Amino acid sequence: MITLTDNSLASHHTFGIAVNAKHIICAESAEELVSIWQSSQYASLPKLILGEGSNMLFCSDYPGLVVLNRIRGIEVEERTDDWLVHAGAGENWHEFVRWTLEQGMPGLENLALIPGCVGSSPIQNIGAYGAEIKEFCEYVDVLNIASGEVQRLPAEACRFGYRDSVFKHELKDGYIITAVGFRISKLWLPKLGYGALSALDDNATPMDVFNAVCDIRRSKLPDPARLGNAGSFFKNPVIGRELAECLLVEYPGMPCYSVGEGSCKLAAGWLIDQAGLKGMTVGGAKVHEQQALVLVNTGNATSADVLRLALKVVESVAQRFGVQLEHEVRFMDMAEETTLPELVEKGKVCL
């Protein structure tokens, strides 16, 4: 357990916005997490568990204790048809994907270069290029803070959905992910049907796919180390088929995917682009010129800048298409999580 002397959160979340916490501690085991939560020194303070902060926007300073989850370690169990890979929640996700390939266990390559830690992957049910965590997850180990016990949840108990899981609902408070178990099949079936990956031929190796995914993501998405951001800021909206068909009449080139009877998924980035918002700035916040789905910190953005820009995007898309965008990035306001509509209702964000 390491208590940091610098209380700035700028380097602990990928937006890199200048906000502070009252205290910041690194925890390297479930036992250390229990000790922190049971400590009388921090008993009266709100507490926030943080991985690499790759999906977090701090709307203000955090008036409590931020705990950086740094539980590491990888163990592999070889079975008849697959490998079970147990990874600590604090492992870097991209490096974990690379490691599995280097160990001859392909399967996760389509999820390369997604920022964050292993422990964050099931919370969002991260996905990219035709793959999602729910396809590979066998279990998630969670620490019950109240009892101090680690419980193993099978994948079906995680209630995975589109960028959603039980960890954003019933298990959002009072539980901390300590490890994730991944089932990686020995029968490798490449997924090359998504976007630019279709350019790869049938002889492509898992590492070819990994490198292609990295190249595509680097060409489209800004590096958080150079330009602060939290990746895709908005979810791809799911709308009724009737509205989708009306929009397709007016915009025949609009990306539109059926996701079940009566529903279609649209590309949020396309909607934002068509609304003419690429490159729009509010203070130090900006809609990225290449990928409209990403809001970036040009160097001196405040939380208020990002929030006002996000609201401008939401209202512009709604006015143009009649589609309501929902942010994928988590908002932390003071000591509790919130949403853009809630902040607008409270009068904390306005144009």
Catalytic residue list? 163, 232, 328
- Alpha-carbon distance 122 to 160, whole Å? 8
Q: Rounded to a whole number, what is the distance in angstroms from the first to the last CA of the chain? A: 43
Q: Do 74 and 68 contact (CB within 8 A), yes or no?
A: no
**At how many degrees (to 10) do helices 93-102 and 206-220 cross?**
160
Sign of the alpha-carbon torsion through 15, 336, 140, 197: negative
The residue among 299, 231, 301, 302 whose CA lies nearest residue 269 is 231
Q: What is the largest CA-CA distance in the chain?
A: 63
| Angle at alpha carbon of residue 40, lines to 38 and 46, rounded to 5° | 75
Q: Give alpha helix (H) positions in the chain.
A: 30-38, 93-102, 121-124, 206-220, 241-250, 268-274, 303-321, 340-345
Q: Do 79 and 185 contact (CB within 8 A), yes or no?
A: no
- What DSSP letter does each residue of 220-232 carry, written as one string? HS--TTTSEE-S-
- Alpha-carbon distance 296 to 323, whole Å? 23
| Cβ-Cβ contacts under 8 Å for 11 (sequence gap 6 or more) | none
Q: Do 101 and 213 contact (CB within 8 A), yes or no?
A: no
Specify the residue for token string 């709604």. Answer: 318
CB atoms within 10 A of CB 105: 20
Burial of 116 by CB count in 10 Å (0-12 exposed, 13-18 middle, 19+ buried)?
A: buried
